[in-house]
Amino acid sequence: MLEQQSVFTTIKKNRLAVTGLIIVSLFFLVAVLAPVIAPYDYREINVQEMLVPPGLKHLCGTDDLGRDIFSRMLWGARISLAVGFVAVGISTLIGILVGSLAGYYGRWIDSVIMRFVDIMLCFPTFFLILTVIAFVGPSIWNIMIIIGLTSWMGVARLVRAEFLSLKQREYVLAARASGASDARIIFLHILPNAMAPVFVSAILGVGAAVLLESALSFLGLGVQPPVPSWGNILTEGKANIEIAWWISLFPGLAILITVLGYNLLGEGLRDALDPRFKK
């Protein structure tokens, strides 16, 4: 309890982290309330209002089919959030599992796993993701799974390092002496103490996944139209780049602010949780 309280007060003192938390919560709200606050239906095509510049009627203008970009961006927030959280959930789970196995058992298990991590790290991840998606077909579920499957290596290394130092602690030896099973020691004794850096990297990971999804959708290998995502609205922006700057400007701004929010929150939490920064 005391520990939690001190973390909380450190976050409150850290203005960057608070800004991040506000941004993240705001976008979370927007995503949940998208159907309520969107002024137009995101699918509604209106041939009389094609490529209307931003104004009072259409806050962020309309695209070449006369669809309201502001409404499409609100729905796009849902996609970003969903992809970010599910992908990071997958990668964090894999990372924890792989990292704790390597760190706890050591020896050949560790060498095999860490070699595999090396192999995964030297693949150009983005190229790999594009290739796999092109083969299995782009859909929001495929994107989440593939981003998750290709971004667990950092977490695995973190967890492994934590395990290497924690497994020598006395409370672990005590647990082993009292006959606790390996699984019990790993999940109940060591893992809870190794979670702080994992949590930080997960939050930073959400930002990275949002960026990745937007890049994939921008290239046409992500979320498929007519479902709006910030990335695929930007594709339309590129197609109309010479006549409609607003299609390009606003979705990118949304991506920037969201990712900035997660990064600020993550960095702030790292400062709060890292004992070296405590006075």
Interacting residues with another protein (CB under 8 A): 16, 115-116, 118-119, 121-128, 130-132, 134-136, 207, 211, 214-215, 218-219, 234, 237-238, 241-242, 245, 248-249, 251-252, 255-260, 263-264, 267
Q: How far is the CB of 242 from another protein (least distance, A)?
A: 6
Q: Which is nearer to another protein, 3 or 242 (CB)?
A: 242
Q: How far is the CB of 209 from another protein (least distance, A)?
A: 13
Q: How far is the CB of 112 from another protein (least distance, A)?
A: 10
Q: Which is nearer to another protein, 124 or 192 (CB)?
A: 124
Q: Which is nearer to another protein, 28 or 116 (CB)?
A: 116
CA distance 271 to 192: 19
| CA 196, chain centre distance (Å) | 17
The angle that helices 191-218 and 140-149 make with each other, rounded to 10 degrees, is: 130
Q: Which H helix or E strand runs over 194?
A: helix 191-218
Rama region for 106: left / alpha / beta (φ>0; ψ in -120 to 50; rest): left
Indicate the residue type of 135: F
Q: Is the bond into 39 cis (omega within 30 degrees of 0)? A: no
Q: Which is nearer to another protein, 191 or 248 (CB)?
A: 248
Q: How far is the CB of 207 from another protein (least distance, A)?
A: 7
Q: How far is the CB of 186 from another protein (least distance, A)?
A: 26
Q: Which is nearer to another protein, 139 or 193 (CB)?
A: 139
Task: Determine the Cα angle at 3 with ends 174 and 172, to 5°.
Answer: 10
Main-chain phi, psi angles of 62, to 5 degrees: -125, 165
